[in-house]
Amino acid sequence: MNKLKFSKDEGTAFYKELQQRLDEYFFRNRLEKHGNWLMLFKIVMYFSLDILFYTLMMNSETLTGFYIFYLLTGLSILLTAFNVSHDAAHGVAVKSKYWNKVLFSLSFNLQGNNAYVWGKHHNESHHLYTNIEGSDIDVLNNPLFRMTEHQELKWFHRYQYLYAPLLYLLYSLNWFLFRESLMLVNLSSRTIKIQIPRSEVFKLIIYKLVYIGYMIIIPSYFLPFGWETVMLAFLLNHFMVSWIFVGVLGVSHLSDFVSHPVPAADNTLDMSWPKLQMCTSVDYNAGSRFLNWTLGGFNAHALHHLLPNICHIHYLRILPMFREIAAKHGVTYMEMSYTKSLVSHFRFLKAMGKHQQFIPAAYEG
């Protein structure tokens, strides 16, 4: 991974004032930046829903009921990851460092994926060097997609905006089956080589087996519907989870409004870290209580990238301050409806598949 040096610009002053104002806000209102009683309620609620839907699925007497509760179990586990895993990975779900680690590991590993791999590279790569190829772990080098102008443009990329929705169905299944497993033999679709500690290799294998156990083997053995029915439910669940996951996160960093900055030969970037976060992230319906409650603040992605040390339950209160200070310092905050962000995502895919060079669209608010 290429480590970069940032420069000073209007984003530097913006970020300094933002931190000062936020410190004053939390001190004046006697609040902590981590989760409060509302976050504790959400943690209990989402884990309870996981158990409830799984129990209802395992006690299903009809095929329709089985499919409904199986999919609700998968949806609930995904929402638990959005609302609990993410903040816990940043150490702000609760006050205790130990319990943040426990909550992150438990809620993330419920999906059959490795918490350590995602948490480490999410915090040390994606959050530091967002959208920069060779530095951001989330920049893919998948031959079927062209995501940056430095990746080779092939004839079939002109159709990527058309076949993308079909391939997006496989996102979580690919993650579970191949993404981490291939890392064990130094293969990956990531643009950065990843090495997994031996202790985590054992956990990776165990949690995948546990996931297969409770999502496939146990329902197949104890329910009368047959393993073919369970496997179909398993696939449908991953299709659903994939579309929701990509639909929530893909539009934030893959948009024709965002940039993919290129550092100089000496690994310096001609912008500050705060400005990088603002020009590589799109927020949609950031003031929505419903989305804040269900997506854990993922819809306010620029805000989160700048303030990962603040739990998402505070976002709605600090959002007006965030907008105000950004406007004051002339820092563009890209905020729009979800529909507009989704359309922008597919315009991006179309442009990247058609043109060698990509120039971000001007954001006009």
Per-residue pLDDT, 136: 80
> What pTM, to 2 d.p., does this model score?
0.90
From 196-200, 315-319, 330-334, the region with the lowest mean pLDDT: 196-200
- For the chain, what percent of residues have pLDDT higher than 70? 96
275 token code pair: 């400005």
Q: Would you say residue 130 lies in a domain?
A: yes
DSSP 61: -
- Average of per-residue pLDDT across 139-154: 84
Specify the number of domains making up the chain: 1
Per-residue pLDDT, 1: 64
Provide φ and ψ at 60, rounded to 5°.
-65, 135
**Could you tell me the pLDDT band of residue 254, with boundaries at 50, 70 and 90?**
very high
| 176-185, 199-208, 281-290 — most confident range | 281-290
* CA-based nearest residue to 309, from 12, 22, 17, 115: 22
Per-residue pLDDT, 122: 81
Per-residue pLDDT, 110: 82
Q: Would you say residue 187 lies in a domain?
A: yes
Q: Comparing 175 with 29, which gets the higher pLDDT?
A: 29
Whether the per-residue pLDDT at 185 is higher than 80: the answer is no
| Contact criterion met (CB below 8 Å) for 219 and 69 | no
Q: Comparing 19 with 120, which gets the higher pLDDT?
A: 19
Q: Would you say residue 304 lies in a domain?
A: yes
**Could you tell me the pLDDT band of residue 56, with boundaries at 50, 70 and 90?**
very high
Per-residue pLDDT, 318: 96
Per-residue pLDDT, 193: 65
From 149-153, 160-164, 341-345, the region with the lowest mean pLDDT: 149-153
297 token code pair: 């603040």
* CA-based nearest residue to 75, from 40, 42, 110, 35: 110
Per-residue pLDDT, 112: 84
**Could you tell me the pLDDT band of residue 190, with boundaries at 50, 70 and 90?**
low
Per-residue pLDDT, 186: 65
28-58 residues labelled b (16+ CB within 10 A) or e (exposed): eeeeeebbeeebeebbeebbebbeebbebbb
- Average of per-residue pLDDT across 146-170: 92
| Contact criterion met (CB below 8 Å) for 280 and 131 | yes
Q: Would you say residue 365 lies in a domain?
A: no
pLDDT in tens, 285-314: 999 999 999 999 999 999 999 999 999 999
How many residues make up the chain in this entry? 365
**What's the domain range around 44?**
10-354
Task: Work out the mean pLDDT of the chain and round it to a whole number.
Answer: 90
| Bridge partner residues of 335 (DSSP) | 283
Q: Would you say residue 202 lies in a domain?
A: yes
Strand boundaries in the chain, DSSP class E: 283-284, 335-336
Q: Would you say residue 135 lies in a domain?
A: yes
**Could you tell me the pLDDT band of residue 198, with boundaries at 50, 70 and 90?**
confident
Whether the per-residue pLDDT at 337 is higher than 60: the answer is yes
Whether the per-residue pLDDT at 25 is higher than 90: the answer is yes
Three-class secondary structure of residue 190 per DSSP = strand
Whether the per-residue pLDDT at 19 is higher than 70: the answer is yes
Residue linked to tokens 């930046």: 33
Q: How far apart are CA 183 and CA 186, in angstroms?
A: 5
Q: Would you say residue 51 lies in a domain?
A: yes
From 71-85, 258-272, 294-308, the region with the lowest mean pLDDT: 258-272
Per-residue pLDDT, 75: 96
Q: Would you say residue 238 lies in a domain?
A: yes
pLDDT in tens, 101-124: 999 988 888 888 888 777 777 877
